[in-house]
Amino acid sequence: MKASVYIAFSLDGFIARKNGDLDWLPEPGSTNEDYGYHAFMETVDALVMGRNTFEKVLSFGVPWPYGDKPVFVLSNSGFNIPEGMPPSVSVLSGDLSEIVAALLQRGYEHIYLDGGVTVQNFLRAGLVDRLILTIVPVLIGDGKRLFGSLAEDIPLTLIDQHTWPSGMTQLIYDLK
Ligand SMILES: NC(=O)c1ccc[n+]([C@@H]2O[C@H](COP(=O)([O-])OP(=O)(O)OC[C@H]3O[C@@H](n4cnc5c(N)ncnc54)[C@H](OP(=O)(O)O)[C@@H]3O)[C@@H](O)[C@H]2O)c1
């Protein structure tokens, strides 16, 4: 099974302001460009996202954006999926290696990892295969970090890169 991260961050390394605000990201629909998102989503069997990211998605108050694609929300705090969510949404907790083994056993071939703490935990566990990183040309000074401390360096191999007239830059790396 392959695990990929697809995420946008400010040039100074933040995925959200401290309070979770994403107001520094380009307004959705402000350009026709989707920065490869839909093509990437077509390759993904399931999403694994942190509880904070899930709650942020719900706060947008828009129709559920992931259709019937399975979404596994990571939480160790006894979090329950709110009523009214599609049956494709469920909570997972526990050891990440066991979670990945369970997803593999269910037949998933490509999972999309989302959320800062989540990405950091998967990186520390050596369970990320690909990073698709979109750098937003802005400095926001403070916020929730995409990357965190590591026990050892993680070498990366640059696979591809794109720049757009908007100033957005995408770097795609493999970890293995
Ligand atoms: N810029 C972007 O592209 C982008 C993308 C995604 C998210 N975001 C933003 O980033 C913010 C959320 O990121 P975040 O760094 O705060 O956290 P997050 O990864 O979304 O959520 C963290 C929570 O996930 C749970 N969790 C993480 N790893 C776990 C594990 N191994 N086992 C069990 N539970 C685990 C824990 O929930 P419990 O506390 O319930 O145990 C933890 O508190 C939001 O504001 C969101 O909008 C931005």
Q: What is the Å distance from ligand 1's center to 105 Cα?
A: 24
Each residue's pLDDT, cut to its tens digit, for the chain (176 residues) gives 999 999 999 999 999 999 999 999 998 778 889 999 999 999 999 999 999 999 999 999 999 999 999 999 999 999 999 999 999 999 999 999 999 999 999 999 999 999 999 999 999 999 999 999 999 999 999 999 999 999 999 999 999 999 999 999 999 999 97
Atom from ligand 1 closest to the CA of residue 53: 20
CB of 138 within 6 A of ligand 1: the answer is no
Put simply, whether the predicted model's pTM sits higher than 0.85 gets the answer yes
Assigned domain for 94 exists: yes
Assigned domain for 128 exists: yes
Q: How many domains is the chain partitioned into structurally?
A: 1
Assigned domain for 69 exists: yes
Assigned domain for 54 exists: yes
CB of 10 within 6 A of ligand 1: the answer is no
Nearest CA to ligand 1 atom 48: 15
E-state strands within the chain: 2-10, 14-16, 46-50, 71-74, 89-92, 110-114, 130-136, 144-145, 157-163, 169-174
Q: What is the CATH number of the domain that holds 58?
A: 3.40.430.10
CB of 121 within 6 A of ligand 1: the answer is yes
